[in-house]
A = this chain, B = another copy of it.
Amino acid sequence: MSTSLSTAPGDLRSGLGRNLTYGMLDALGRAIVTGQYETQPFPTEAELAKQHGVSRSVTREAVKMLTAKGLLSARPRQGTVVQPASSWNLFDTDVLRWLLERQFSVELLRQFSQLRIAIEPEAAALAAQFGTAEDLRQISAGLARMEAAERGMDDTLDADIAFHVAVLRASGNPFYAQFRDMVATALRTSIRFTNRIKGRTASVADHAAVRDAIAAKDPAKARTAMRSLIGDVVELIDAADGSEAA
């Protein structure tokens, strides 16, 4: 945000997104979730276009995408208004990323981890019941990457993500699989906290226990193993929160 005002009315091309519309989507999305329009009214379509130096077409399309994600609502005469946060689609990876990237929001990360406590153990149980041989191979591959990362042969974070994503996919349920991108996004953000607290090699042994339970087709054991895994994450976040506040 340091260069937002100085580099002309808008530098949307260099921002994330392959074109002006996506650049504006990202800029507006960030601005909305960081509460920049809580004190001032959301600009009109014409004002937005002028402020960012783009055409009304680009502006309207960006606004329409934000509307589709639940952040905005537009009506004639009334103008475009920011929707209350309760109607934002938190399961949209863009929205979640904007939320997590703002002022390191530990509270949000804790709440998301609370959700993971519900999702991932059940996904592991389903994987133990219905997972195919290929699914198990993918999970084992993720675990192998974590072991390799311990020896410095792979990236710790990527390996951790690969493991959790593999379990979610192995559930065979598209709704669980949907959490793939969200868990990846959240992990990439959370690593900034958790890594700072302790060496935290993301206990490979605990992950192996999950894999073994799934391989043994033991849903109950897979569920509890995964639950303790995520439980550790929550404790870690709480610890980070404490040190942050101090």
Contacts and interface: CB of A to CB of B under 8 A. Distances in A.
Interface of A: 21, 57, 60-61, 64-69, 85-86, 89-92, 111-112, 114-115, 117-119, 121-123, 126, 173-178
A173 to B, nearest CB: 5
Contacts of A123: 118
A62 to B, nearest CB: 8
> Top 3 A-B pairs ranked by shortest CB distance?
A91-B91, A118-B122, A68-B68
* Residue of A68, A92, A112, A174 with most chain B CB atoms under a 10 A cut-off: A68
Contacts of A117: 122
Given A65-B65, A68-B65, A68-B69, A173 B114 contact: yes
* Residue of A118, A119, A121 with most chain B CB atoms under a 10 A cut-off: A118
A111 B123 CA distance: 12
Contacts of A90: 174-175, 178
Given A89-B92, A91-B89, A174 B64 contact: no
Given A92-B92, A112-B175, 5 more contacts: A65-B65, A91-B92, A91-B178, A114-B122, A115-B176
A68 B92 CA distance: 9
Contacts of A175: 90-91, 111-112, 114-115
A47 to B, nearest CB: 19
